[in-house]
Structure 1
Amino acid sequence: MREWVRRHPKLAVALALVLAWVVVMAVLLAFGRPLVEVIAESVFWAIIYGALSVFELRRIRRTKVRLEENGQVRAYLRYPNSRPGSLDGIWNMGIATPSAGLIHFQPAVYDTLEPSGRPTTIKVLQFLPDRRPISRKERKYVTGFGIQAMSLVTEEGDVEIAASPESPVKLLDTVEGH
């Protein structure tokens, strides 16, 4: 089931919303509410949530376009071999700007990617070839679906960077100069 949801995320969300709508209608009908009132209320709330979803999707698209125009990628960074309590198990969200041999990483907060903290420049010595999906246990602080992680060898040690499926390819091509 999880594999199907990963392959069809939009359809899975749509089915979950329809199922939730049917369950809420059934519960309201079970408590003796009139059918016309239940339908009217459910349509009203469906319109409200639909409008909120449209605005949210527009905002996400605008952010994605803004990043693409600047050659940037929304990414998550962590240092797997660092001391416990630092960024060894926590993904730090931010904006990755790739250039030849380097990745400039600006930590950011919220979905609007407001800069926070000090930027880091990572000198990449080598990209390790394997990409893997983020497991459920390590999804803490990672938003979105289909996020994939890859490992980098840097001057300071190993770094893991995670992003949407097309982003690691973009990072790899830019950093290695393809």
Structure 2
Amino acid sequence: MAGETLKPAPRGRWEKILPRSFGLLLFLATITSDLLRENFGFWGSTTMSFGAFGLGAFLLVRLAAPQRKERLARDAERGIIECAIRYPDSHPGSNRHLWLPGFAQVSRGAIRFQPDLVGEGNPAGTIRPFFDVILKGPVEPPAKRPTEVKRGWHIVALETDEGLLHVAAGHSSLKLLEDRLGNQKA
């Protein structure tokens, strides 16, 4: 179907602000450190400024966390998960071997994946359907976590009509995969 797209729940206000705010917080901490340097010296002003940066970042994360949890729960009710995929049997270094972030809609025995190349929560591009999907089990993570694989995500292997597929996702998303696909380890 032309123009078809997965529609994950929209990100909340604090979720949108969070990734864009770190550069601004760092800039403000640097300027503040420069302004306070005369009164408190280099180390004192740097400590206070970056302490304020850490506090600001902590508060933004705390404000965004409930919105993210609620959004992921709404998506899970509709069978949509945030994830990244790769084809482990492809040639190392090829585009298919690299992780591709996006969203997947999970149903009995099938997954429909759409990439989110911008990272804004609005998937775009062609939906890739995978049929005859069987959950094979967990996979050891690489020694160095790729940037597309978010912190706290785990990797599982799936057998599909297109061959072996690795999916990286959060714990609740992997639980949804197990519930919808069944725990049919070979």
TM-score, normalised via structure 1 length: 0.65
Q: Distance in 2 between matches of 1:41 and 1:80?
A: 45
Q: Does residue 52 in structure 1 map to residue 52 in structure 2?
A: no
Q: Distance in 2 between matches of 1:133 and 1:43?
A: 36
- Partner residue of 1:136 out of 140, 143, 147: 143
Q: Distance in 1 between matches of 2:49 and 2:102?
A: 40
Q: Which amino acid aligns with 2:96?
A: L
- Partner residue of 1:67 out of 75, 89, 107: 75
Q: Percent identity?
A: 22
Q: In the alignment, what sits opposite 1:107?
A: 115
Unpaired runs of 5+ residues, structure 2, are: 1-32
Q: In the alignment, what sits opposite 1:148?
A: 154
- Partner residue of 1:121 out of 120, 125, 129: 129
Q: Could you give the per-residue CA deviations for residues 37-95 of structure 1, whole angstroms, max 9, x where no partner exists?
A: 8587567545533433234324423431331232211111101112441221x111111
Q: Distance in 1 between matches of 2:166 and 2:80?
A: 17
Q: In the alignment, what sits opposite 1:8?
A: none
Q: Distance in 1 between matches of 2:86 and 2:65?
A: 27
Q: Distance in 2 between matches of 1:40 and 1:154?
A: 54
Name the one with the larger strand percent.
Answer: 1
Q: Could you give the per-residue CA deviations for residues 73-130 of structure 1, whole angstroms, max 9, x where no partner exists?
A: 1111101112441221x111111111111011111145542112211110134321x3
Q: Which amino acid aligns with 2:171?
A: P
Query: Is contact 1:103-1:175 (8 Å) kept?
Result: no
Q: Distance in 2 between matches of 1:126 and 1:167?
A: 16
Measure how far apart 1:163 and its partner are.
1.0
Query: Is contact 1:96-1:104 (8 Å) kept?
Result: yes
Q: 1:140 to 1:131 in 2, by over 3 A?
A: same
TM-score, normalised via structure 2 length: 0.63
Query: Is contact 1:124-1:152 (8 Å) kept?
Result: no
**Higher RCO by CA contacts (8 Å cutoff, separation 6 or greater):** 2
Q: Distance in 2 between matches of 1:32 and 1:177?
A: 63
- Partner residue of 1:86 out of 95, 110, 123: 95
Q: Distance in 1 between matches of 2:86 and 2:53?
A: 40
Query: Is contact 2:111-2:133 (8 Å) kept?
Result: no
Question: How big is the alpha-carbon RMSD for the aligned residues of Structure 1 and Structure 2?
Answer: 3.6
